Structure 1
Amino acid sequence: MPEKAANFAWSNPRVHQWFKILTIAVFLGILILCGSDENPRFNLSWVSPELEVNYSSNLLTKWLTPGGVPCKDSRTVDIKIQSLDSDSDSTIELSAGEVHEFVFQAIDGSGEPHCLGGDYFETDLSGGNWKSRPPIKDFGNGTYVVSLQIHPDFAGNYNFTIILLYRHFEGLKFSPARFVFDKVLRVIPIKFVNSNSNSHLPEVEQCKKFDFTKDVWSGRWTRHARNENCRISNDGRYRCQKPSFPCVHPWCSGPLGLLESNGWVYSTHCSFKLYSSEEAWNSLNNRWIFWWGDSNHCDTIRNILHFVLDVQSIPIVPRIFDMNITNPKNPSQKVRFTSIFNGHSNHTGNYQGLDSLSNPNYRELLKSYFTDTNVVPDTMIMNSGLHDGVHWPNIRQFIKGADFAASFWGDVMKGVRERGFSPPVVIYRTTVATGGYARSMAFNPQKMEVFNGVLLDKMKEYRVLDRVVDDFDMTYPWHYDNRCNDGVHYGRAPLKAKWRDGQIGHQYFVDLMLGHVLISAMSP
């Protein structure tokens, strides 16, 4: 009976007519809704790379791939980008806001396509007020795809640069300096134009707790002020704007002048708060932060103390550091910073990295902070460190070392739970992209990016990881020279002296930005 009724209904001309009217009405409603001023017609999306599932095992497979006879003697020396390579001198125009994907092919010395992946291309998209690293996807067969995007607010003229730093995972070798290629393959002028007023990108919102669960970031540095007359002061500082100079919505919130960056600020899938001293103390009051990492951690702790918390009484943060720190303006506020160096089991040594955990006395030292008292750290900030880049002979051995490290910290957190305490929130701060001369050394960007991915993969496997701060992405746009780094550090103390490039002083704001991001990650 129901089936007969249904057949009767569909055979009724009036039903068909009403159905057509209803369908047209719904369609017109959607067009009106999407075409209204309040609801733009086209909703764009941000570039958003992801960490590959089973990263470590897949990496090992790619690294060991022989390639067969066609690729045995082939080596990449150039690329072909059919959509961007042009014989004309005219500037390429692209629409701002959209993600533009360009496939390019690795080419060997005979001009033939190379059929293996693993080449390491450095990419840079730079204009007067925007610097970013366009992400690349490696298909493993000699073809790659790169994604370009800038926000419509920053439409204008850019240079898109591609540098071939290493071929077929050669940056992962024990002595990679012998294999560095470091050739600029393309510098392509591109003009980004606002071509569609009815399209828009989602607004970058201030970071919340969930935003720090993203494993890989794809951010950008944007500039919102410029003081051409800014000069370094006698204490090595760059005070180019007043400390109260405000952030520009939505790229950050708070006093941008405190960053001492002459207007630059970093944002990614979310934007960050820049903290006044009072706000930072309110956020960190009565906290215990446990740091486990390389000497970049020492720089970051000192910079947080000096520039953010306004504590000037601690000129140097040594490799082993444990101190209750009092707010000089409000003695009732305190924070405990504990930092244990992981470059070597002996804090005076170097280049042991995660293998420092093979020393039983060192393991017991680390455990003691989580087992010997009636209180445990509420936050742990860690990284693998540049020392791993020097220590491990190959990627297979580092994967084993990362597995052991993640297992060790998994057991420590398990012990905390068994004692009836809440384990600390674990934040992995990815290792920096080494800059200038260090791009060709044992801790080169290709190796450190891979090591970051491996340790992230292992930390997730052992359920140790809670949040990620991608300092690799944050430092990458500034790693091509030594203006913001000494090769391996981005936060050296300000000093009015000649820097590596022969100029006076250096720009330390990249590490100051990290300090504010870490406070956000601790208290989103």
Structure 2
Amino acid sequence: MSAHLSPPHHPSLAAGDAKKQPHLGADPGRRTSSCFGGDHSSTKKPGPSAAKLALASFLGVIVLLAADASLAGAGAHRRLRRQYLRYVGIGVGVGVGGGGASAGSPPAWLSVPDRPNFTDDLLARWLAPGGSPCRDARTANISVPALDGAAARGEAAELGAGEIHEFTFWALDGAGGRRCLGGDYFEVDLSGAAWKSRPPVVDRGDGSYSVRLQVAPRFAAGEFRLTVVVLFRSFEGLKFSSARFKYRAELRRIPLLFRRPGGNASLPALEVCRSADFARDAWSGRWTRLARNDGCEDVDAAGRYRCLEPDHPCEAPWCHGPLGALESNGWVYSAHCSFRLFAADAAWRCLDGKWLFFWGDSNHVDTIRNLLTFVLGITDTSVVTRRFDAVFTNPSGGPGTLRITSIFNGHWNMTMNYLGLHSLRNRGFRQLIRSYFVSGDRVPDVVILNSGLHDGCYWTSVRAYAQGAEFAAQFWSDVMAKVRARGHAVPRVFYRTTIATGGYARDLAFNPSKMEVFNGVLVEKMRRHGVLTGGVIDNFDMTFPWHYDNRCNDGVHYGRAPARLVWRDGKVGHQYFVDLMLGHVLLNAICNG
């Protein structure tokens, strides 16, 4: 059950029935076809002389030795020392093609390094000048020296399970020559029968890239595939009208085998996520399959994949609770920690009396509806539209009331689209948002922010988006300052990263290359303004392994309501468990203190 709440006093805004209006996913090509943008050009400069390069190399060695002494020493700051050791490879098991591992290093989980000065570094690399054939060349292929030989012989390279394996690959031009600038966007997928993950890729800026792989011993059986697709070249996915520049070429599909370690070697057990675990700006997780009903291929009359019993238990440490509730036929997501899957009674106990405030794109609407339907047992979700404020009660008759406020940010007018963060330039829209924090006798307990896909169509460049992100971060910082000034406790504020758009939408103005960058920019701005008191929920990493086609999404949403209808890919029904997993991850962030 639910009850509408009258919003706090605010100026009148244009409104309407969002369900009767054009939707973000209704016709993406219509709007994005006009997302044309200019090119970023820069003056070409002559390269440095040999003497200057030699001097720079000498100074670089001196700096590296000084860093080694200061950061690897016993007196170094712990956090900086860990970052440095991870960067140079100490304490990381490195397989074929890697280097720098110390003998006997204990196994560790793969993670994404911190990214200081993300925006400035990105802009500097984007605007790096050309001036030589290898800099101006276009990527047409890659070279993976450590793996290409076995693949050419039709063999699967064998790697140790549990270890972190780092490989270098080079971007090649059409003639097979190496490029010496970065900027290509590679989609990398590591898949087995019970494993799907996105190995992190690091652009070194000189035409070389590093990729890191890891498979837990529990899932090492059978053959794996390492697939590498170049989606965009030379930062062209960041352009305003990116569809004109799509490349989308599968360059490698490499077979791999992972051998289980002997003795008692194993990865540290994952622990259930706590509040401190949401401090990371980017995750490197994986989807694992813990059960499977081979007879469950078709959806039921409601369009649902109820393949396992609802109370089918999870397997520790990969998750805890009713795995069957995900309706994923055994798939579940974990990262640097694992997640609890909530039954209805546990979820209501956690949420009772809380006020959740959502601000983001239409994917928020789907997640809220799925959380209410699949977890909290509320069947009437008609109130859940682009903008609403309502109180929900436990339908079982047990204790539990929950207030949810959701404000769509694709446009200041909730019936329109494609403004994103620029919607905050509307004074009335800013006053509407503030009204929930500066009036009444309480403020929301938890705030979940999201930038959204609409930004991909509005902002003409990364630099322009960075300015919009700075304005948004300053706005939310001011809102929280007003909460403090009123003597209230500041809500726990999370940023839920924007999804990786799937299938046909991989090429459009809200493509994964652009959305990953926009996520990084906004998280950095929010961090610097002290807004993210709760942390980051990396939905981009969660959705990426499933974004290559439209089986789990309609291109721009992963949480569309189940239905026994023909889906975009021509099959009846669609997989919706990726967004259900997000709902449980949100509950972990809210409930696991």
TM-score by length of 1: 0.91
Do the aligned partners of 1:117 and 1:138 also contact (CA within 8 Å) in 2? yes
Write the letter of the residue equivalent to 2:460: P
Greater strand content: 1
Alignment of 1:280-299 (within 5 A): 280-299=347-366
Alignment of 1:164-313 (within 5 A): 164-230=230-296, 231-313=298-380
Alignment of 1:38-49 (within 5 A): 43-49=106-112
Take 1:196 and 1:113, find their aligned partners in 2: how far apart are those partners?
A: 39
The structural deviation recorded for 1:197 is: 2.6
Take 1:496 and 1:51, find their aligned partners in 2: how far apart are those partners?
A: 43
The structural deviation recorded for 1:57 is: 1.1
Partner of 1:104: 169
Do the aligned partners of 2:134 and 2:177 also contact (CA within 8 Å) in 1? no
Matched, 1:77 2:140: yes
* SS in structure 2 of the partner of residue 58 of structure 1: helix
* SS in structure 1 of the partner of residue 303 of structure 2: coil
The structural deviation recorded for 1:316 is: 5.6
* SS in structure 2 of the partner of residue 288 of structure 1: strand
The structural deviation recorded for 1:198 is: 4.0
Write the letter of the residue equivalent to 2:234: H
Take 2:145 and 2:264, find their aligned partners in 1: how far apart are those partners?
A: 29
Partner of 2:550: 482
The structural deviation recorded for 1:289 is: 0.3
Partner of 1:385: 452
1:433-481 C-alpha deviation (Å, 9 max, x unpaired): 0000000000000000000000000000101012111000000000000
Do the aligned partners of 1:390 and 1:442 also contact (CA within 8 Å) in 2? yes
Partner of 2:416: 349
The structural deviation recorded for 1:111 is: 1.3
Take 1:295 and 1:261, find their aligned partners in 2: how far apart are those partners?
A: 23
Give the counterpart of 1:131 among 176, 187, 196.
196
The structural deviation recorded for 1:246 is: 0.2
Matched, 1:456 2:519: no
Partner of 1:500: 568
The structural deviation recorded for 1:331 is: 5.6
Do the aligned partners of 1:80 and 1:107 also contact (CA within 8 Å) in 2? yes
The structural deviation recorded for 1:334 is: 0.3
Partner of 1:518: 586
The structural deviation recorded for 1:132 is: 0.3
Do the aligned partners of 1:49 and 1:217 also contact (CA within 8 Å) in 2? yes
Take 1:363 and 1:390, find their aligned partners in 2: how far apart are those partners?
A: 21
Do the aligned partners of 2:135 and 2:179 also contact (CA within 8 Å) in 1? no
Partner of 1:155: 220
- Identify the range of structure 1 (158-167 vs 323-332) with the bigger mean alpha-carbon deviation: 323-332
The structural deviation recorded for 1:71 is: 4.2
* SS in structure 2 of the partner of residue 141 of structure 1: coil
Do the aligned partners of 1:42 and 1:199 also contact (CA within 8 Å) in 2? no
Runs of at least 5 residues in structure 2 that lack an aligned partner in the other structure: 1-103
* SS in structure 2 of the partner of residue 84 of structure 1: helix
* SS in structure 2 of the partner of residue 357 of structure 1: helix
Take 2:273 and 2:135, find their aligned partners in 1: how far apart are those partners?
A: 47
Partner of 1:8: none
Do the aligned partners of 2:217 and 2:261 also contact (CA within 8 Å) in 1? no
The structural deviation recorded for 1:239 is: 0.4
Take 1:359 and 1:314, find their aligned partners in 2: how far apart are those partners?
A: 29
Write the letter of the residue equivalent to 1:48: S
Write the letter of the residue equivalent to 2:531: V
The structural deviation recorded for 1:91 is: 1.4
Take 1:368 and 1:490, find their aligned partners in 2: how far apart are those partners?
A: 31
Write the letter of the residue equivalent to 1:228: D
* SS in structure 1 of the partner of residue 422 of structure 2: helix
* SS in structure 2 of the partner of residue 330 of structure 1: coil
The structural deviation recorded for 1:175 is: 0.6
Structure 1 residue ranges, 4+ long, deviating more than 4 angstroms after superposition:
none
Take 1:96 and 1:42, find their aligned partners in 2: how far apart are those partners?
A: 14
* SS in structure 1 of the partner of residue 404 of structure 2: strand
Q: CA RMSD in A?
A: 1.2
Write the letter of the residue equivalent to 2:559: G
Take 2:380 and 2:329, find their aligned partners in 1: how far apart are those partners?
A: 26
Alignment of 1:357-506 (within 5 A): 357-466=424-533, 467-506=535-574
Partner of 2:119: 56
Partner of 2:207: 142
The structural deviation recorded for 1:42 is: 5.1
Take 1:315 and 1:521, find their aligned partners in 2: how far apart are those partners?
A: 26
Aligned residues, how many? 485
Take 2:541 and 2:489, find their aligned partners in 1: how far apart are those partners?
A: 31
* SS in structure 1 of the partner of residue 371 of structure 2: helix
* SS in structure 2 of the partner of residue 434 of structure 1: coil
The structural deviation recorded for 1:68 is: 2.8
1:126-158 C-alpha deviation (Å, 9 max, x unpaired): 000000001111111100100011001111210
TM-score by length of 2: 0.81
Do the aligned partners of 2:383 and 2:390 also contact (CA within 8 Å) in 1? no
* SS in structure 2 of the partner of residue 323 of structure 1: strand
The structural deviation recorded for 1:315 is: 3.8
Taking every aligned residue pair, what percent have the same amino acid on both sides? 57
